[in-house]
Structure 1
Amino acid sequence: MARSDFIKEIAPDAQKIYKKYDILASLIIAQACLESAWGTSGLAQKGKNLFGIKGTYNGQYVLMWTTEYDRKGNATRVQAKFRKYPSWYASLQDLAKLYVNGTSWDPNHYKAVVGEKDYKKATAALVKAGYATDPNYATKLNSLIETYHLDTAKSGSYGTIDSGNLDGTVTKNVTVENCYFGASAEMGAFHAGVGSHSAVTGKFYENIKVINNTFEGMRYYSVKPMKWRGVVVSGNRFLNTYGGVYVAPIPDGQLYDLGGTKVTYETGSDVVINANTFENMGEKAIYVLGRKEIYQQDVTISNNIVSGTADGKKGIFIRYADGVNISNHQSKNTGSQAIYAEFSQNISASGGEFKTTKTDGIKLNAVKQANINNVSIQDTGTHGIMTYGGCSGIDLKYNKITDPSQSSAGGFDGIYMSNDTTDSSLIANKIRSSKKAPRRGIWVTATCDNIVAFGNDTRCRAVEADSYRNSATNKIETSGNV
């Protein structure tokens, strides 16, 4: 029996045990996997005994050789009676009753296991109670729980896998490093590389690091932190994949608490995406998505290199986020914008170089508070930088835009502020062109209000005579713009 098939077979019964006895399903599934060799041991096959419980069950037993350890860790082979069960469920239930009722000499012997929601505390409690003589028993259980996603949520929650919908414990403190994710001689590339399948209200995956790996040919986003906190994705190479890193929330109507009540509106936070390379993406290289009701919080994107996204696909796409800081980003040959942000706030981009975008270099839609400074943008299909959709608090400073409007001579601008952009500034930006001429270097339309502009240099061979044009209401121009 394949390991995944064994987990799938016992998971529904484990969930029933959790509901009836308040014992973590992930705990008893991990115990079953470890102690029965995934249901293939002689004891499991002969007696449906998953946990090596000794004695008889309704008078039934099997004789088996076993290894015992003394207090010093010395191993000895002995023959003993083990209970024989009519089904896997009977074995699971017998274990649960042992935890709930305790031993003949101590009814509270396993009290610390019952009701415990942290699987690491539960496994430690088992060892402390002397359940197993193997000194590494808790460590082995923890590894199984984390490796095989025995921490998924309850029935009906998002994207659950074949291991079943369990008790809602979560994975923490995991590092995935120096691995290769891609096709092999036996099978094609994975759907995704590193991610999570579901989440429970109020619980977060924490302290996950994905470092120095290669993801090649993935058929979905290679790394998908779904409602994770404290994430580092650094030094990885993404090659010819569908997408790179997708910082995601739980979809509508698919987030539950452990009582089965549908709950929504939770996202992750504190994500660092640093020093990765993205080559020939079929979709976005980096996708940061929160929710309208609660934004994705605090994402740092630094020192990454994007070399190619498919036609119409953005390099970085930010939606419903609060606090995204992009620095020293390198981008070329994107099928749409190098950076696109919408319905977000507190966005910054500093340093870096964006070359050859099919549309705008940077586009902001309905963004509140953004600072774009010291960025070099070259060879854009349309605008170098564009704001629209009621943006406010947008500061564009010390940026150099070279050769915008390459898809249409005279069709687009170096910087285009439009559609009710308010309370914003344009300071010491430089626009140049040596290829197809832009319409204007800077154009602020009449729908904008309270725009400060000074020290901008738009000598870029513009088609229009007024290469710099600020038509905003309540414009403030404290020094020359040319």
Structure 2
Amino acid sequence: MAIENDLIPVNTLGVQDEETGKWIPVDAVALRSHTDRLTIEEILDEFSSLNNQNSSLEQSIGNIEEIPTPGNSLSEKFSKEIGQLFSNPMWYGAKGDGVRDDSKALQNALNNKGNIYMPKGKYLIKSTLVVLGNTRIVFHPEAEIIRGASIYCSFTNGYPEDKFLAYEGNGNIEILGGIIDIKGNEIKSNGGGIVFGHARNITIEGVTIKNPYNIHHIEINACENVMINKCSFLGYYHSGTRAFSEAIQIDLAKSYEVFPVFGSYDGTVCKNITIKHCVFNNVGAGIGTHNPAEYTFHENINILYNTFTNLLHHGVSGLIFKNFRINGNSFLNCYRGIYLAWSYDGKMDNNVIKDSSNHGVLIRKTNKVTINNITVSRAKGVGISIYEDSGTININQAHIEYGKLLGINIDCNTTTVNNCIIKYNNDNGIYIHNSATNNKIFGGSIYGNGKHGILITDDANSNQIKDVRIFANNQLNVNAGNVIILKNASKNRFESNTVRIGDMDKKPLYGLFIAGTCTDNIVLINDMKNSGTSYSYQSDSTSTVTQAVNIL
């Protein structure tokens, strides 16, 4: 049997015929496949084209062998290069199906630090995720972290055994986008969203956090240089005694009870915190703290252009704030709009507070604060209440209207109310009392209030009312007047004001009345013509100083 039919000549370019099985040299017949017939010239043209493509690829990316990333092939090098740019939890086994526990896979990705990308999916976690320093987490808009067990928080930046000091913990962290659902409606144990401590340079932007239980959507404890921007805080559940818990808590490293995540407890406060363009809806309190500390302040706190709606407690709770700004915020149907205590050196501009179930603004033990262009409407408590050792509070161009109680309560010293409109509140427009001293009401209008326009009483002394238009008060028809000075109120000055009876249905009994127990009050250059149904001006005190230039 001849063997030449079974051999393939090694130096002959050819092809095996698919029908006969014989080897046919390419110079004798066209190459043949299932669909195309190619001559040797056409094959050489194809190889030439491929060589040109490889040359073009090499020109684009350089010599593949010169790419420093380890790897034997282009795909292997690219895979490792991308891995250096960011980590994807899917590479570590995350499923993102909302059923299987992805905690381990997510933590393995986070351990790489650098850039972490969270693809679209629902990531169930049953262990708290620890974010190390120099980490940037970028969420797909539909990537969601779901708390699936009784863990204290979803993200933190330290382990229980860590003992960081000051701001030297894991910092330089960014969390961008995504959703964190703490499932407080289902898991009835203390559970929050992001809890960071002892760090600097933290950015949280575009994140939606919802449904914590008893604690905070975000806690920033002993941190410096923090930006929280364009985030949403939705829903809150508690055991019945924690309505005051803030969606964003700004706190100090005071004790394990305050921060039960990691140490140390060195008393470090927060500095340079900015929270802006965020939405708070159906939560406990909005922003702040409920933990005071003696002679200690969180410094440079900026709360800007946020919206607070349907809160169980304060919109902003500014305890131990120093050098702070609370500007451009909107508060609707909150327990209180803004609460300040033990705070110093602040400014609050262009805030709008409507339908508070308690006071609009409550200030106690606080000094050196300026409030500009605030609107407080339909508060069920006092519009603005200032008391308990507060001082140097300046209120400019406020509108306080339609409240159930007082417009402004002043139980303190050195408050100035300048060019404000206080109208249609059910109680007194302004109430100065309890030995309040050296307060000033300058300019503006006070009218249509249910009781007195201004009541100065209970040993209040050395207060000044000047250039104010006061009219049409006593709208509850309770024998009230436009301005009343009672009960040992002394050395108060009433000057250059315009007082009128007004044209509303109910009329004030007095333009200005001073009781006989009051001494050394001064009444100068006022226009009080036709300002009360009983008297335009009546002083029962023999020591009142008046001048004939008062118009009566």
> In the alignment, what sits opposite 1:336?
405
Structure 2: which amino acid aligns with 1:375?
A: G
Structure 2 residue 250 is the aligned partner of structure 1 residue 179: no
Residue 376 and residue 161 in structure 1: after superposition, are their counterparts in 2 closer, same or farther (change >3 A)? farther
> d(CA) in 1 for partners of 2:397 and 2:404?
20
Cα pair 1:177 1:211 within 8 Å, conserved: yes
SS in 1 for 2:319: coil
Structure 2 match to 1:322: 391
1:462 to 532, 535, 539: 532
* Whole-angstrom distance in 1 between the partners of 2:508 and 2:160: 72
| Partners of 2:471 and 2:531 within 8 A in 1 | no
Offset from partner CA, 1:305-339 (integer Å, 9 cap, x none): 112112xx110000121101111001210111110
- Checking the alignment, whether the CA contact within 8 Å between 2:198 and 2:221 is kept in structure 1 is no
Q: Note if contact 1:221-1:243 (Cα within 8 Å) is conserved in structure 2.
A: yes
Match of 2:254?
154
Please name the residue that 1:119 is paired with: 167
Preserved CA contact (<8 Å) 1:221 1:245 = yes
Quick check: 1:153–1:199 contact (8 Å CA) kept in 2? no
Q: Greater relative contact order: 1 or 2 (C-alpha under 8 angstroms, separation 6 or more)?
A: 1
Q: Return the offset for 1:148.
A: 2.9
Distance 1:212 1:439 in 2: 44
TM-score (norm 2): 0.56
Letter of the structure 1 residue corresponding to residue 285 of structure 2: A
| 1:256-271 aligned within 5 A | 267-271=342-346
SS of residue matched to 2:439: strand
Within-5 A mapping of 1:33-44: 40-41=103-104
Q: What's 2:376 paired with?
A: 306
Task: Report matched runs for 1:183-198 at 5 Å.
Answer: 189-198=282-291
- Does structure 1 residue 168 correspond to structure 2 residue 261? no
Indicate conservation of the 8 Å contact 1:277/1:305, yes or no.
yes
Larger radius of gyration: 2
How much has 1:302 moved relative to structure 2? 1.1
> What CA distance in whole angstroms lies between the structure 1 residues aligned with 2:460 and 2:469?
21
Task: Name the % identity.
Answer: 22
Give the letter for the 1:118 counterpart.
Answer: A
Larger relative strand fraction: 2
Note the C-alpha offset of 1:163: 4.8
Measured after TM superposition, the shift of residue 438 of structure 1 is 1.3
Change (3 A) 1:161 1:416: farther
Q: What residue identity is the alignment partner of 1:230?
A: N
Listed as ranges, the gaps of 5+ residues in structure 1 are 1-38, 53-66, 70-90, 97-112, 125-137, 183-188, 249-266, 291-295
Task: Return closer, same or farther for 1:162/1:404 CA change in 2, 3 Å cut-off.
Answer: farther
Find the counterpart in structure 1 of residue 299 from structure 2: 206
- After superposition, the Cα gap between the structure-2 partners of 1:139 and 1:283, relative to the gap in structure 1 and judged at 3 Å, is closer
Secondary structure (helix, strand or coil) at the match of 1:150 reads strand
Deviation track 1:213-257 (CA, whole Å, cap 9, x = no partner) reads 110011101101101101111111111111100002xxxxxxxxx
Match of 2:50 in 1: none
Answer yes or no: is the 8 Å Cα contact 2:253–2:266 preserved in 1.
yes
Q: Note closer, same or farther for the CA distance 1:424–1:336 as it changes in structure 2 (3 Å cut).
A: same
Pick one of 361, 383, 386 that aligns with 1:286. Answer: 361
Distance 1:202 1:41 in 2: 43
The answer as to whether partners of 2:410 and 2:431 remain within 8 angstroms in 1 is yes
Aligned equivalent of 1:233? 326
Deviations 1:137-184 (A, max 9, x none): x99942569953333343498xx36658843211110111111111xx
CA distance in 2 between counterparts of 1:156 and 1:412 reads 54
1:359–1:380 Cα contact (<8 Å) kept? yes
Q: Which residue of 2 aligns with 1:243?
A: 336
- On the 8 A contact 2:310/2:332 being kept in 1, the answer is yes
Q: Tell me the C-alpha RMSD between the 2 structures.
A: 3.3
Count of residue pairs the alignment pairs up: 336
Distance 1:380 1:361 in 2: 6
Q: What's 2:510 paired with?
A: 440
Identify, as 1 or 2, the structure richer in helix. 1
Specify the alignment match of 1:406 in structure 2: 475
